[in-house]
Amino acid sequence: MKRGTDLIIGGELVLSGYILTDDSASWMWDNANYFSPALVRDALGELGEGQVTVRLCSVGGEVVAGEAIRAILASHPGGTRIIVEGQAASAASLLFMAGTVREMSIGSFLMIHNPSGGAWGEAQTLRKEADNLDKLAAIYATVYAKASGKTQAEMLAIMANETWYSAEEAISEGFADAVSQEGNASAQQPAAVAQMSLAQTQTIMADQRAKFLAHLTAHRSATGVQPARPPAASSGIPAMLATAQEAVMPNPTPAAPAAPTNPSQPLMAAPVDANAIMLAERTRAQDIRAAAQPFMESGRLTEADVTALISDGSDVVTARSRMLTTMAAREPMPNRVAPVPRGQDETETRRMAMEDSLVARLSRAEPSEAARAFMTHSLVEMAAERMGQSRVPGNFAAREQVLMAAFNTTSDFPILFENALNRALAARYNSAMPTYRRIARQRTYQDFRDHSTVRVGDFPTLQAVNPEGGEIQSGNFSESKEKTAVKAYGIMVNFSRQMLVNDSLNGIQQILNDRGAAVARFEESTFYAMALSGANADGPTLLETTRQVFNTTDLTKAAAAAAITIASLGIGRAAIRKHKSLDGNDLDISASILLVGPDKQTEAEQLVAPVLAAQSNNVNPFSGRLEVVTTAKITGNAWYLFADAAEAACFEWGLLDGYSAPRFRIDNPFGVQGTSMSLEHDFGCGAIDWRGGFKNAGA
C-alpha cells in the first residue's frame, strides 16, 4: 500500500503525477504516479514542523483533492517552499498557491483554467452540474486572487481563457516569486531567456523533464521499488471516474515569444545535452508502450491510440490519464438506470448538504433543499457516511468507535463538524449588537502590527485653480499620529463524548449561544475598558494632543457637571459643531447619539421623546435628532454626546483580515473525554480622535 513516506525523496516532498482524492487513490496501483491529500498529510507529519521543500510536477487531476492538498500545505507550521519542475497545470496550479515561497524552474510552466467535470441525465441535472462548476470556479478564483493580488473578476477571466504562463510570466503576474536557481545557470539571466526561440524553450523543458524522471528512477532503484504498472482491465478505474476528474490537458505548445527589440542582439541558448534528450525521448516512448500493453492485450486500447500519445509529445503521466479517459469513453452506458456521477462534485455536494443541515438544526434556521435529506441524521450517522460505512451500530460503545474513527482518520467529517459549528457560531455572534459599535468606526486589520488611521478632515482642502494656466495646486494629508492594533484571544471549549455520541444538539446549541454572546460581551467590556480608562474615566491619552479624549482644553468635556437638560445638551452639541480639523478647517459635525448608563436612561429618553407642544417654546429640539444608547459599562450620572461614527469617530474597532466572527478550531480530536476545541478571536480597538465626542460628568 502506498504511504506518505513514498513521496519523500532526499528529505523533500516530491509531488509527481496525477492528483487524486483519497477514494480514487485506493483504486490505483501503489507504484503509479499519483498523490492524494492523505499521502501528503502523512508525508508532512514525517518531515516535521519546520519549513518543507516541495517539488511539484503534475498535469493536475481532481480539483477538490487539489484544494485539499493546498489547504494542508498552507497550514503547515513551518511553511513550504514549492518549486515547479516541469509543469503545474490545472489542479496542480491551485495547490501551488499554498507555497510560502513559490518558485519555478526556468523551463517549467503554469496553467490555470476553470474546473471541469461531467454528468449524465436530463436537462435539469446538466444545468445543476453547470451551476456547481460555476460555484467551484468562483471559489478557486478567490484562492488565486489572494495569492497573486489580483481581483476575483480578473482571475475568472484568466481561468475562462485557460491561460499558460512561463516562469517569468508567472512571476510578473504574481503567481510565483522567483525562478529557481537550482541547477539553472540561465536562471540568472531572465531577460535573455525571454528572447529564446520556440525550439530552445522546448529543449529546456524536455531537459527539465528528463532530469526529474531520472531523479525518480534513482529513488526507485535505491529503494527496490519496481516501475509502476497500470491496473489490469478487470480491476481498472470504472468509466464514471471520468466524470470526477478534470479534462486531461494535452502537452502544451508554447506560443512563440515576441521578436527581440534589438535584432542584432544574439539569442541566448542554454547548453543542451543531445544524448540525454534522445535517451529521455526513447525512455518516454518505452514507458508509454509498457503502460498501454495490458490494455492493448485486452482490446481496450489500439495501436493507433498508443502511437498518437507518443507522437503528440505526451509525458507518461499525461498518457496514462488519457488512456483511462479513452477507455472510459468506450465503456457501454447502462440502459435503464442513470448513474449518479461519483467523485469530487457528488462528494462535495453531499458534504455541504450535511453541513447545511447541521447549521440549520443548530441555529434553528430553515434548511436548504439539499439539507432536508440529512435533517434526521445523527452525528454518528453522518460520520459513518463520510467514512463510507453503510451500517450504524446501535450500542453506545460501537457508535463511539465510529466517531473516534471519523475524527482521527483522513475522513472529512472533522471539517464538516468544525465548519457547521463555526457557521452557527457566526450567526449567533452577528445577531448580538453590542453598544460600542454604535459609537465606534469599524476597520479591518491586515496583521497584528500597529495601524495608522486617516480621520475626518485629514483630506486636503480644495484650492482655486489658476484661471490662466489651469494649474491645480497640490495638497497633502495631515498625518494622524494615533495607532491601533488587533490582538489575539482564545479559550478552550470541550464537547463531551456523551454529547456527541448521543447527538445532543440542544446542548451543543446552548454552548454556541453562550459562546457567541460571551464573545460579544467580551468585546463590549474590552472596548469600554479602553474608552473609559485614564483619570476620571476621561479616556486614553492621544498622541496628537497629549491629552485625554475628553478634556476641557479641547472643549470635549463640560466645565461644570450638569443633568441632561436642553441647556446642557445645547452646550455639548455646539462644542462638537465648532471643532476644526488638523489643518484648522471647520468640520461642522453634528451630534447624533446620546450615550448614557442605566441611571440616566429614563431621563435621557424623556428628554428626546416627541412633545406635542401648544406653544413654540415647548417644542423639543432634540426629538428625532438624538438617539439614546444605553450601556451598563457607564456607572453613575456621566453622559456623552457622539457624532455618527461614519462622520467623525473618536474610537475604532476591528477584526483581523479574513475573519468576520470568532471561530472554533479542533485542538484535540475525539478522545476519552470527547473533543477539545479552541475558541479563537482576533479583536482590536482604540482611540483615534477627540473631535466627534463630548462628555458631561452629570448630576
pLDDT at 583: 73
pLDDT at 126: 82
Cell numbers for 31, please give them. 507504484
Q: Are residues 403 and 497 in the same domain?
A: no
Q: Which of 79-88, 235-244, 300-309 has the lowest mean pLDDT?
A: 235-244
Alpha carbons 527 and 651: distance in angstroms, whole number? 9
Range of the domain at 649: 435-699
At residue 458 the predicted structure's pLDDT band, cuts being 50, 70 and 90, is low
Q: Residue 614 above 80 pLDDT?
A: no
Place of cell 491551485: 94
**Is residue 9 in a domain?**
yes
At residue 451 the predicted structure's pLDDT band, cuts being 50, 70 and 90, is confident
Q: Residue 222 above 70 pLDDT?
A: no
pLDDT at 630: 95
Distances 409 to 262, 345, 405, 498, 499 between C-alpha atoms, Å? 60, 22, 6, 20, 21
Mean of pLDDT values over 674-697: 92
pLDDT in tens, 596-608: 999 999 999 888 8
Q: Are 21 and 36 in contact (CB under 8 A)?
A: yes
pLDDT at 525: 94
Distances 424 to 69, 285, 418, 524, 546 between C-alpha atoms, Å? 26, 55, 10, 21, 44
Alpha carbons 301 and 296: distance in angstroms, whole number? 5
DSSP string, 168-199: HHHHHTTS-SEE--TT-GGGG-HHHHTT--HH
Q: Are residues 226 and 166 in the same domain?
A: yes
Q: Which is nearest to 696 in space by CA: 541, 584, 538?
A: 538
Q: Residue 413 above 60 pLDDT?
A: yes
pLDDT at 237: 31
Q: Are residues 62 and 184 in the same domain?
A: yes
pLDDT at 505: 76
Mean of pLDDT values over 667-695: 88
Phi and psi at residue 121, to the nearest 5°:
155, -160
pLDDT at 331: 58
Residues 6+ apart with CB under 8 A from 162: 111, 112, 113, 114
Distances 304 to 292, 307, 323, 615 between C-alpha atoms, Å? 11, 5, 12, 101
Q: Are residues 424 and 439 in the same domain?
A: no
pLDDT at 268: 38
Q: Are residues 390 and 511 in the same domain?
A: no
**Is residue 339 in a domain?**
no
Q: Are residues 267 and 368 in the same domain?
A: no
Alpha carbons 195 and 602: distance in angstroms, whole number? 79
Q: Residue 621 above 80 pLDDT?
A: no
Q: Are 332 and 394 in contact (CB under 8 A)?
A: no
pLDDT in tens, 419-438: 888 888 888 888 888 999 99
Distances 695 to 106, 552, 579 between C-alpha atoms, Å? 65, 10, 14
Alpha carbons 157 and 173: distance in angstroms, whole number? 14
Q: Residue 652 above 50 pLDDT?
A: yes
**Is residue 364 in a domain?**
yes
Output the domain CATH number for residue 148: 3.90.226.10
pLDDT at 57: 94
**Is residue 335 in a domain?**
no
Q: Residue 311 above 80 pLDDT?
A: no
Element (H, E) at 440: strand 440-445
Let me know how long the chain is: 699
56 by DSSP, 3-state: which?
A: strand
pLDDT at 119: 66
Alpha carbons 602 and 630: distance in angstroms, whole number? 10
**Residue ending a domain, choose from 271, 304, 330:** 330
Q: Residue 539 above 80 pLDDT?
A: yes
pLDDT in tens, 251-280: 333 344 444 444 343 333 344 445 556 667
pLDDT at 623: 65
Q: Are residues 514 and 531 in the same domain?
A: yes
pLDDT at 494: 82
pLDDT at 683: 95
Q: Are residues 385 and 461 in the same domain?
A: no
At residue 622 the predicted structure's pLDDT band, cuts being 50, 70 and 90, is low
pLDDT in tens, 328-360: 666 554 444 444 444 445 677 888 899 999 888
Q: Are 489 and 402 in contact (CB under 8 A)?
A: no
At residue 304 the predicted structure's pLDDT band, cuts being 50, 70 and 90, is confident
pTM of the model: 0.48
**Residue ending a domain, choose from 429, 458, 483:** 429
Q: How far is CA 678 from the centre of its chain?
A: 19
Instruction: Provide the sign of the torsion angle of the four alpha carbons 572, 574, 575, 579, taken in this order.
Output: positive
Q: Which of 9-13, 251-255, 514-518 has the lowest mean pLDDT?
A: 251-255
Q: Are residues 22 and 150 in the same domain?
A: yes
pLDDT in tens, 186-198: 333 333 333 444 4
pLDDT at 692: 94
Q: Which is nearest to 278 in space by CA: 346, 330, 206, 376?
A: 206
Residue predicted with more confidence, 245 or 73: 73
Instruction: Show contacts of 526-532: CB within 8 Å, 24+ apart.
Output: 526/683, 526/685, 527/434, 527/436, 527/440, 527/651, 527/653, 527/685, 528/436, 528/631, 528/633, 528/634, 530/651, 530/685, 530/686, 530/687, 531/436, 531/651, 531/685, 531/687, 532/633, 532/634
Alpha carbons 153 and 141: distance in angstroms, whole number? 8
Q: Are 694 and 557 in contact (CB under 8 A)?
A: yes
Residue predicted with more confidence, 151 or 132: 151
pLDDT at 84: 95
What rounded mean pLDDT belongs to the chain?
79
Q: Residue 672 above 70 pLDDT?
A: no
At residue 676 the predicted structure's pLDDT band, cuts being 50, 70 and 90, is confident
pLDDT at 157: 94
pLDDT at 460: 58
Q: Are 459 and 635 in contact (CB under 8 A)?
A: no
pLDDT at 241: 31
**Residue ending a domain, choose from 330, 365, 381:** 330
Q: Are residues 300 and 411 in the same domain?
A: no
Q: Are residues 397 and 468 in the same domain?
A: no
pLDDT at 144: 94
At residue 23 the predicted structure's pLDDT band, cuts being 50, 70 and 90, is confident
Alpha carbons 559 and 574: distance in angstroms, whole number? 14
Q: Count CA within 13 A, CB hemisphere, residue 26.
A: 6
Mean of pLDDT values over 642-659: 92
Q: Are 380 and 362 in contact (CB under 8 A)?
A: no
Alpha carbons 532 and 436: distance in angstroms, whole number? 12
The C-alpha angle with vertex 132 and arms to 131 and 134, in degrees rounded to 5, equals 65
Helix, strand, coil shares of the chain, percent, nearest 5, are 45, 15, 40
End-to-end CA distance of the chain: 80
Q: Residue 141 above 90 pLDDT?
A: yes
Output the domain CATH number for residue 667: 3.90.1690
Q: Are residues 538 and 617 in the same domain?
A: yes
At residue 693 the predicted structure's pLDDT band, cuts being 50, 70 and 90, is very high
